[in-house]
Amino acid sequence: MNITRENIDALNAVVKVDIAKEDYSDKVEKILTDYRKSANIPGFRKGHVPMGMVKKQYGKAVLVDEVNKLLQDALSKYLVEEKLDVLGNPLPKAQDDLNWDADAFSFEFELGLAPEFDVKVKGKKAITHYNIVADDKMIDNQVKHLQKQYGKIVSQAEVTKDSEITGTFVNEDEGINNSTTITLDLLKGKTNPKKFIGAKVGDTIELKTKGLFNDDHALMTYLKVAHDDAHGLNIPVNFTISEINERELAELDQDLFDKLFGEGNVKTVTELKDKIKEDSEKQFKQQGDQKLLNDVTEYLIESTKFDLPAEFLQKWMQTAGEEPMTEEQAREEYEKSEKSMRYQLIEGKIINEHDLQVKFEELKDYAKEMIKGQMAQFGQLNPSDKELEDIAARILGNQEEVKRMSEQLMSQKLLAFYKENANLKTKEITYDDFVKEFYS
List residues bridging with 237 in a β-sheet: 207
Return the pLDDT at 227: 87
CA 53 from chain center: how many Å? Answer: 56
Backbone angles phi, psi at 242, to 5 degrees: -115, -15
The C-alpha atoms of residue 240 and residue 202 are separated, in whole angstroms, by: 6
The C-alpha atoms of residue 196 and residue 240 are separated, in whole angstroms, by: 11
Q: C-alpha distances in angstroms, 55 versus 22, 34, 102, 351?
A: 17, 12, 15, 53
Return the pLDDT at 440: 60
Q: 2-113, what's its fold? A: Alpha-Beta Plaits (3.30.70)
The C-alpha atoms of residue 118 and residue 392 are separated, in whole angstroms, by: 38
Per-residue confidence in pLDDT tens, the chain, 440 aa = 999 999 999 999 999 999 999 999 999 999 988 888 877 777 777 777 788 888 888 889 999 999 999 999 999 999 999 999 999 999 999 888 889 989 999 999 999 999 999 999 999 999 999 999 999 999 999 999 999 899 999 999 999 999 999 999 999 999 999 999 999 999 999 999 999 999 999 999 999 999 999 988 899 999 999 988 888 899 999 999 999 999 899 999 999 999 999 899 999 999 999 999 999 999 999 999 999 999 999 999 999 999 999 999 999 999 888 899 999 999 999 999 999 999 999 999 999 999 999 999 999 999 999 998 888 878 787 888 899 999 999 999 999 999 999 999 999 999 999 999 999 999 999 999 998 888 76
- Type of residue numbered 307: D
List residues bridging with 183 in a β-sheet: 164
The C-alpha atoms of residue 182 and residue 190 are separated, in whole angstroms, by: 16
5, 17 contact by CB (below 8 A): no
Within 13 A of 174's CA, how many CA atoms are on the CB side?
A: 19
Long-range contacts of 16-19 (CB under 8 A, 24+ apart): 16/106, 16/107, 16/108, 17/71, 17/74, 17/75, 17/78, 17/106, 17/107, 17/108, 17/109, 18/104, 18/105, 18/106, 19/67, 19/70, 19/71, 19/74, 19/104, 19/105, 19/106, 19/107
Domain ranges for the chain: 2-113, 152-248, 268-439
* The CATH classification of domain 152-248, taken from the options 3.40.50.1970, 1.50.40.10, 3.10.50.30, 6.10.140.120: 3.10.50.30
Give the max Cα distance, the chain: 99
Within 13 A of 332's CA, how many CA atoms are on the CB side?
A: 5
Q: Read off the DSSP letter of residue 174.
A: G
Is residue 266 within a helix (H) or strand (E), and if so which, with residue range?
none
